[in-house]
Amino acid sequence: MIIVGLTGSVGTGKSTVARLFQELGAYVIDWDELAHKVVRPHTNAWTEIVSHFGEHLLDEDLSLNRPALAEVVFADKEKLHELNRIVHPEVVKEDEKITNTIKSIDPDAIVIKDIPLLYEAALPLALDKVIVVYASAQTQLKRLQGKGMSLVDARRRIASQLPLDEKLKSADFVINNNGSLKETRRQVAKVYSLLKKKCGRGA
């Protein structure tokens, strides 16, 4: 088994790259999905978030109002840090369960862990390789605004993360996602081929 961390920055297109790896045969663990799972009503993380940030951030069904929570934490780095402190340990537990299950059914698996805050959170993960998805700041802003985010909020989201140039310094592989889907797919296929060789699966 080879375990690969996939990261980048908001608006670089990590989800697209993860999907392309999955289409080629990799197992993908999406940490955004796990983060949604661990904050469902009455979970440990949910209880601590409500206690720390207040019940006013809950919807009628008791689920977290994620846009409202995001507005709070992305305006205050200390609050963002506190939220991550609550959520990340629970996500790590879920990740370990899934990883162990994959290992038991496919010892030669290529596992791609899509982790947005891989560098920022300093997570206790054993990764064999790291892939960073790159896009220019202009591309990031355009994509975020295309999702309905204001320019101010988009810039705030980008600024809340470690600069992309810093992440590139520690990358084993870089996927440049500024261009067409076809070009991104070509880069993903090349990296996947190299990962397969490391797993002894051939080209």
Q: List per-residue pLDDT tens for the chain, 203 residues long.
A: 999 999 999 999 999 999 999 999 999 999 999 999 999 999 999 999 999 999 999 999 999 999 899 889 888 889 988 999 999 999 999 999 999 999 999 999 999 999 988 888 777 788 999 999 999 999 999 999 998 889 998 998 898 888 999 999 989 999 999 999 999 999 999 999 999 987 765 54
- Residue 80 belongs to some domain of the structure: yes
- Residue 139 belongs to some domain of the structure: yes
- Residue 61 belongs to some domain of the structure: yes
Q: How far is CA 64 from CA 71, 81, 85, 96, 115, in A?
A: 13, 18, 17, 24, 21
- Residue 10 belongs to some domain of the structure: yes
The domain in which residue 126 lies consists of: 2-198
pTM of the full structure: 0.87
Angle at 82 between CA 98 and CA 59, to 5 degrees: 80
Count structural domains, the chain: 1
- Residue 136 belongs to some domain of the structure: yes
- Residue 34 belongs to some domain of the structure: yes
Domain CATH code at residue 123? 3.40.50.300
Query: What's the rounded Cα separation, in Å, for the pair 171 and 191?
Result: 12
- Residue 203 belongs to some domain of the structure: no
What pLDDT does 76 receive? Answer: 86
What pLDDT does 200 receive? Answer: 63
Q: Contact 57/65 with Cβ under 8 angstroms?
A: yes
- Residue 42 belongs to some domain of the structure: yes
Determine if residue 153 is left, alpha or beta; phi over 0 gives left, psi from -120 to 50 gives alpha, anything else beta.
alpha
